[in-house]
Amino acid sequence: MVEVTLWGSLGRAAGGTNKLDIEAKDIRELFRKLAEQHPGLQPWIDRGIAVSIDGTIYRDTWSKQLPQDAEIFLLPRLAGG
Amino acid sequence: MAGVAVSTTINGDSVEYLCQPDETLLEVLRDRLGLTGAKEGCGTGDCGACSVILDGRLVCSCLVLGAEAEGRQVETVEGMAHGEQLHPLQQKFLEHAALQCGICTPGFLIAAKDLLAKNPSPTEEEIRFGLAGNLCRCTGYDKIVRAVQDAANMMRGA
Amino acid sequence: MNFDPRYSTRNFTAVGTRPIRPDGIDKVTGRARYGADFNMAGQLVGRILRSPHAHAKIKKIDTSKAEKLPGVKAVITAADLPDHTNGDAAMYDILDNCMARKKALYDGHAVAAVAAIDARTARQALKLIEVDYEVLAHVTDVDEAMKHGAPLINDAVFTEGLEEKPVKPSNVTKRSQFGHGDVHAGFGHADFVVERSFRTEQTHQGYIEPHACVASANADGTADLWVCTQGHFVYRQHCAQLLGMDASKLRVTSSEIGGGFGGKTHVWAEPVALALSRKAGRPVKLVMTRDEVFRASGPTSATSIDVRIGARKDGTITAAEATLRYSCGPYAGSWAEVGAMTSFACYRLENVKTVGYEVLVNRPKTAAYRAPSAPMAAFAVESAIDELAKMVGMDPVDFRIKNAAQEGTRSSYGPVYGPIGIGPTLEAVKNHPHMKAPLGKNQGRGMACGFWFNFGGQTCTDLNIGMDGSVSLAVGTIDVGGSRASLSLIAAEELGIAYEHVKAVVADTSSLGYNDMTDGSRGTFSTSMATISAARNAIRTLRERAAQMWDISVDDVAWEHGHAVARGEKHGNLGKLSLKEIAAASGTTGGPIAGHSELVADGAGVSFATHICDIEVDPETGATRVLRYTVVQDAGKAVHPTYVEGQYQGGAAQGIGWALNEEYIYGKDGRLQNAGFLDYRIPVCSDLPMIDTQILEIPNPNHPYGVRGVGETSIVPPLAAIANALSNAAGVRMTHIPMSPPRVLAALEAAREG
C-alpha cells in the first residue's frame, strides 16, 4: 500500500480528496487502479500525469517501482521550451 | 516582366545573371546563384542576417536590388575562406563558440570583416556599436564580441 | 536492455573540455543548410492568406479567381484539411491553428493557401482569394477577457477545475491550484505583508530563422518533409495525424535550426505545405515572412499576477499567495498552471497557495518559450520578496538564504525536494565580487532567483564503429546550441577514444526510432544518457570480439581507456587491443560493431539559478541600461562548459530584452501594431554588457555523469533582477513588464510629484 497525494485540481476530480491509499507496485499499476477506483480520473491520466517519487519527477517510466515508504505525489505532466 | 541582364563580380569571380527588376540581391544570391550563406531573417533590413559587402560598403542584401549589382563588387560569406584556410574571424568564431544556432553567423562575420577593415583596433564599445545592425538571439553577444576582439589581435599581428 | 542511470563519481578525460563543434565549419563558411536553404526539382512556392481581423466568422471563401491565375497550381482552405483528429482536442486546436475552420481567431490566422510557380504569382493569387468575413467583437487583454460580458472566443468553453461546474461559458478554460498549509493563519503570524499586482506583456521567442519547410507528397501516399524544427519526430506525428497518413510513410529531415526556444515545438505551416504538395502534385517550399512569424507563430502569454507574502520580524516567511492569469491565445492551454507551480518553488514555505487561470484571448496561440510561464511568475514573486526583505530590514540575499528551499523542504508545487541547488547559488552570489563592486549615480544593483523543472523523455541513439575505428553517432534530438559537440564528448568519454574520432549527426525520422523533441532542457541530458547506454552496449561487443581474437572467455576481457585488456594471470602476456584494432578485424569476427539504445530518460532534476545585475537609469528619458550582469547556475556536470556558458548568457539576454523592451502591442482594432524587428526590439550588441557566468556542478543523482539540463532556467531571473536593480537605483517599484522608457519615466515623474 502506498499513499498518493494528488495536486489540487486532480483531488477535485477524485471526489474532493487529496490523499489516496493504493495497492500498487509501480506507476502503471497505480494509474490502472486510480482509473478503476475513480473513473473521473481517466481523462486526466489520458492527458498526462507525472509522478514524483521522493522529489524526482517521472513522466514516462511507467515501470518505475513505488517504494512503500516513498513520498508519491501526482503532478500535471508538463513540457518545456 | 522582362529580366534585367546583370554583369557583376562576386567573391572575385565574374558572374552574369538575369533577374526581375524588383528582385532583391538577396533573392538573386540565394535563389539564382545558390549562394545561401546570406540568410533572410526579416526582409526589411532589421536583422543583418543577409549582410554582404558591396564595393567596400556593408549592406543588407535584402534592401539592394539584384539589378543594382551591375558592374560592382559583391563579397559574401562564401568568399571569406581561402581554400582550407579560414579567415581569422571564422577561426575565432569557432574557437570562442561565438555561435549557437548559427543562422546569424554569416551576417556577423561579414559585418565584423567590414568593421575590422575600417578599424583594425576597435574598442569593445566600437565592436558593439559596429555590430549593432546584426541580431543574434542565442548568445547574448558576449562570445561574439570576444571572438572579434581576438581576431582583431590576430590580424594585427599577422 | 537494462541500463543503470545512477550517478557514480569518475575522473573525466573528454567531458569538461572545450573542443570545436563538429557542425561549426559549415556554419562559419555559409554551407550549413537551414530550413529555407533546401530546394527540390520542380518545387512550387507556397504562401498563406491570413485574416486581417482579430475575430471573425468565415462565411465563405471563393478561390475560383485565384485558381484561374496562370502559374497557380493549387489553392487550399480548411476543406482540404479534413479533421482526422478523432476527438484529440489538443491536435484539433493545432489543426484549426494551421488553417481556420469556422472562425478566424486572431489577426494573422491562416484562412487559405496557394502554391504557384514563383513568389510573385503566389502573392498575386492571395489577392484574388475572396473571403467573406462577419467581423465579431474581440478581446486581446487578459484581464478584460475574464470580465463578465467579454466577447466569447469559444462558446463551448466551461471553466474546468471549479467547485461547481459553471452554467455559462466563459473565456477561462481552467482553474488550477497548488499549495499546502493554511495561508490565512500564516498571514496572521506576519509582522510585515507585501501585496502587489503585476503585469507582463506578451513576448516572442524571436528566433532569427523564420519557419521554413519543403514538402513533397507523392501519389503513392508517401511524403518527404525538410523542415526547421525542435522535434522532427513530433512533426512527423503531427503531420501524419493531421493529413491522415501512416507516420512511417512520412520521412522528416530536420534542417539546421536557426533558433527555436520553444517556438518550433509544434507544427504551423508544415501540414499546409504537405496539403498543397498533395493537391499540386509537386514539391512545395513554404517560408514564413517575419511579419507572419510575429502575427501567427510563437508568442508567450501576457499575464496579470497578484502576489501577497508575509514575514515575521526575524525574516521568516509565514505565508505566500499568488493568483496568476495567463493568456493562451484562442486555444486552451496550461500556461497559468505551470506559472502557479513554479512561482514559489525557490522557497521553504509552511503556508502557500497559488491559483492559476487559463484565459482565451484573440491573440496567436501561445507557444512554449524557454522555461515557459516561469519568468512572469518569478518577476512578480521575486519583486515582492525584495520589497519584503527591505521592510524586514534584511539584505535581499540573506533574506532569500534564510527562506531558501533545501533538501527535505516541501516544494510549493507539492513534492518534497531531494538535493537541490538554490542554496549554493545564493551562497555563491553572496560571495561574488560583483556584489561588492562600487556603484555610481543613478545606478543600482538587483538580484533574483529562478526555478525550472527540467525534463527527459523518449530517446534513442545509434553508435556505429567503422572499420577504421572512427565512430559515427546518430542522434534523434535536434541540436539547438552545440549538442553534437557535447554528445561526441560523451561518446568519446565512454569509449575511451579521442573526440576527433567521433562524428555526431542528427538522423532523419526513417533512420532512427522515435525521439521526443529538444525541449525542457532535455537535449544533452537525455541523449547523453542514451549515448552512454549505446556506448556500453558497443563495448560489450568490442569485448566479445577481443575475446574471439585472443581465443579467451569474454569474462576475462575488460575495457579500459579505449582498449580491451585481458584479465587474469594466465592471460598476462596478451597485452592490449585498441578499439581501432578490434574494428579493423571486425569483418572476420562477426561483422560490423555497433551499439544501440532506446530508453526513457527520466529524473532530469529541478534547476535553480541566481542572477545579479547592475543598471543605470537615465532620469531624463527613463531609459535603463544594463551595466554588468552575472549568472550563477547549477549544471550538474558541464559537458562542454563553453556551450553551458552560452546557454546561461543567451537566456539572460532574452530575459533582459523581455524586462526592458519586448512586447506585443495591439491596437483597438485587435491588430498587432509591431510585427517586425524594428518595432519589436530585441537586444542588440550595443545594448548589453559582457555576461559573466559561474557554473556550479552539483551532480544529478539520476544521470551516470551527473548531468542536468541547463537550457532554460537562465531566462527566469532577469525580469525581477532588473526590476529590483531599478528600485535600488531610482526608488521606483516597477510592476509592469517591459520596463520601457515611457513606463519608467512615468514612474519617475509620479515619484517626483508624489
pLDDT of residue B1: 67
CA max distance for chain A? 37
3-state secondary structure of C727: helix
C738, exposed or middle or buried, with CB in 10 Å at 0-12, 13-18, 19+? buried
Q: Are A59 and C455 an interchain contact pair (Cβ–Cβ within 8 Å)? A: yes
CA max distance for chain B? 52
Mean pLDDT of C631-653: 97
Among A80, B137, B102, smallest CA distance to C262 is for A80
Q: Please list the residues that pair with C678 across neighbouring strands.
A: none
Half-sphere exposure at residue C605, Cβ-oriented, CA atoms within 13 angstroms: 28
Mean pLDDT of B116-128: 98
Query: pLDDT tier at A16 (50, 70, 90 boundaries)?
Result: confident
pLDDT of residue C95: 98
Query: pLDDT tier at B158 (50, 70, 90 boundaries)?
Result: low
CATH superfamily ID and name for A2-76: Beta-grasp domain (3.10.20.30)
| Phi, psi angle pair for C415, to nearest 5° | -70, 165
pLDDT tens-digit map of C20-74: 999 999 999 999 999 999 999 999 999 999 999 999 999 999 999 999 999 999 9
Handedness of CA C154, C156, C160, C165 (dihedral sign): positive
pLDDT tens-digit map of C375-389: 999 999 999 999 999
pLDDT of residue C72: 98
The CA–CA distances, whole Å, from C249 to C219, C477, C510 equal 12, 20, 9
Give me the sheet containing C576-578, strands edge to edge. C557-560, C563-566, C576-578
The set of chains that have 3 or more CB pairs under 8 A with A is C
Among C234, C246, C30, C344, smallest CA distance to B75 is for C30
Q: Model ipTM? A: 0.98
pLDDT tens-digit map of C515-561: 999 998 999 999 999 999 999 999 999 999 999 999 999 999 999 99
Using a CB–CB cutoff of 8 Å, tell me whether C414 touches chain A. yes
Residue carrying C-alpha cell 476527438: C87
How large a percentage of chain C has pLDDT more than 70? 100
Question: Last residue of a domain, which of B54, B79, B104?
Answer: B79
pLDDT of residue C616: 98
Neighboring chain B residues of C31 at a CB cutoff of 8 Å: 37
Mean pLDDT of C570-583: 91
C333, closest residue in chain A (CA to CA): A78
Residue carrying C-alpha cell 501594431: C673
Among B56, B69, B57, B55, smallest CA distance to B26 is for B69
Residue carrying C-alpha cell 520580524: C313
CA–CA dist B20, B9 (Å, integer): 19
pLDDT of residue A46: 87
Per the prediction, chain C carries an average pLDDT of 97
Q: Are C602 and A56 an interchain contact pair (Cβ–Cβ within 8 Å)? A: yes
- Does residue C571 have a pLDDT over 90? no
CA–CA dist C407, C418 (Å, integer): 5
Instruction: List the single residue in C411, C519, C603 with the smallest CB-CB distance to A80.
Output: C519
Question: Are residues B61 and B26 part of one domain?
Answer: yes
The CA–CA distances, whole Å, from A25 to A1, A44, A55, A60, C148 equal 8, 21, 18, 16, 48
Mean pLDDT of C172-181: 95
H or E element that contains C450: strand C443-452
Q: Are B100 and C646 an interchain contact pair (Cβ–Cβ within 8 Å)? A: yes
Question: Last residue of a domain, which of B50, B79, B108?
Answer: B79
pLDDT tens-digit map of C96-149: 999 999 999 999 999 999 999 999 999 999 999 999 999 999 999 999 999 999
Interface test with C, best of B75, B101, B136 (most C CBs within 10 A): B101
The domain ranges of chain A are: 2-76
CA–CA dist C727, C204 (Å, integer): 26
Q: Are C370 and A81 an interchain contact pair (Cβ–Cβ within 8 Å)? A: yes
pLDDT of residue C530: 97
* Fold of the C24-32+456-601 domain: Aldehyde Oxidoreductase; domain 4 (3.30.365)
Q: Please list the residues that pair with B54 across neighbouring strands.
A: B57, B74
Neighboring chain C residues of B131 at a CB cutoff of 8 Å: 685-686
| CATH classification of the domain holding B100 | 1.10.150.120
Handedness of CA C670, C675, C680, C682 (dihedral sign): positive
Instruction: List the single residue in C262, C411, C457 with the smallest CB-CB distance to A81.
Output: C262
Chains A and B touch (3+ CB pairs under 8 A): no
pLDDT of residue C754: 78
Query: pLDDT tier at C287 (50, 70, 90 boundaries)?
Result: very high
Number of H helices and E strands in chain A, helices first, is: 3, 5
Residues of A with CB under 8 A from a CB of C: 5, 7-9, 12, 52, 54-61, 64, 71, 73, 75-76, 78-81
Neighboring chain B residues of C370 at a CB cutoff of 8 Å: none
Query: pLDDT tier at A10 (50, 70, 90 boundaries)?
Result: confident
pLDDT tens-digit map of B53-109: 999 999 999 999 999 999 999 999 999 999 999 999 999 999 999 999 999 999 999
pLDDT tens-digit map of C453-477: 999 999 999 999 999 999 999 999 9
| B17-48 per-residue burial string, b: 16 or more CB within 10 A, e: under 16 | bebbeebbbbbbbbbebebbbbbbbbbbbbbb
The CA–CA distances, whole Å, from C407 to A18, C39, C418, C753 equal 23, 54, 5, 48
User: What is the number of structural domains in chain B?
Assistant: 2
Rg over alpha carbons for chain B, rounded to the nearest Å, is 16
Neighboring chain B residues of C47 at a CB cutoff of 8 Å: none
Q: Are A59 and C262 an interchain contact pair (Cβ–Cβ within 8 Å)? A: no
Query: pLDDT tier at C572 (50, 70, 90 boundaries)?
Result: confident
Among C474, C274, C306, C294, smallest CA distance to C381 is for C306
pLDDT of residue B141: 98
DSSP letters, chain B, are -PPEEEEEEETTEEEEEEE-TT-BHHHIIIIIS--TTS--S-SSSSS-TTEEEETTEEEEGGGSBGGGGTT-EEE-GGGSSBTTB--HHHHHHHHTT--SS-SSHHHHHHHHHHHHHH-SS--HHHHHHHTTTS--SSSTTHHHHHHHHHHHHHHHH-
Q: Are B138 and C259 an interchain contact pair (Cβ–Cβ within 8 Å)? A: yes
pLDDT tens-digit map of C379-435: 999 999 999 999 999 999 999 999 999 999 999 999 999 888 899 999 999 999 999
State the smallest CA–CA distance between residue C617 and chain B in angstroms: 19
Rg over alpha carbons for chain C, rounded to the nearest Å, is 28
Q: Are C602 and A54 an interchain contact pair (Cβ–Cβ within 8 Å)? A: no
Q: Are C418 and A56 an interchain contact pair (Cβ–Cβ within 8 Å)? A: yes
Query: pLDDT tier at C445 (50, 70, 90 boundaries)?
Result: very high
Each as own residue / partner, the long-range contacts of residues C239-243 (CB below 8 Å, 24 or more positions apart, any chain) are C239/C267, C239/C270, C239/C271, C239/C274, C241/C84, C241/C85, C241/C88, C241/C91, C242/C81, C242/C84, C242/C85, C242/C91, C242/C94, C242/C95, C242/C98, C242/C267, C242/C271, C243/C81, C243/C84, C243/C271, C243/C274, C243/C275, C243/C278
Amino acid at C481: G
Q: Are C603 and A58 an interchain contact pair (Cβ–Cβ within 8 Å)? A: yes
The domain ranges of chain C are: 24-32+456-601
Contact C265, C228 (CB under 8 A): no
| C385-424 per-residue burial string, b: 16 or more CB within 10 A, e: under 16 | bbbbbbebebbbbebbbbbbbeeebbbbbbbebbebbbbb
What residues make up the domain containing B47? Answer: 4-79
Q: Are B129 and C690 an interchain contact pair (Cβ–Cβ within 8 Å)? A: no
Q: Comparing C688 with A57, which gets the higher pLDDT?
A: C688
Residue carrying C-alpha cell 502575427: C295
Q: How many CB pairs lie under 8 A apart between chains B and C?
A: 172
A13: left (phi over 0), alpha (psi -120 to 50) or beta: alpha
Helix axes B105-118, B142-157, angle to 10 degrees: 40
| CATH classification of the domain holding B74 | 3.10.20.30
> Can the peptide bond before residue C738 be classed as cis, meaning omega within 30 degrees of 0?
yes
Chains C and A touch (3+ CB pairs under 8 A): yes
Question: Are residues B108 and B45 part of one domain?
Answer: no
Chains C and B touch (3+ CB pairs under 8 A): yes
pTM greater than 0.90: yes
Interface test with C, best of B137, B139, B146 (most C CBs within 10 A): B137
Mean pLDDT of C200-219: 98
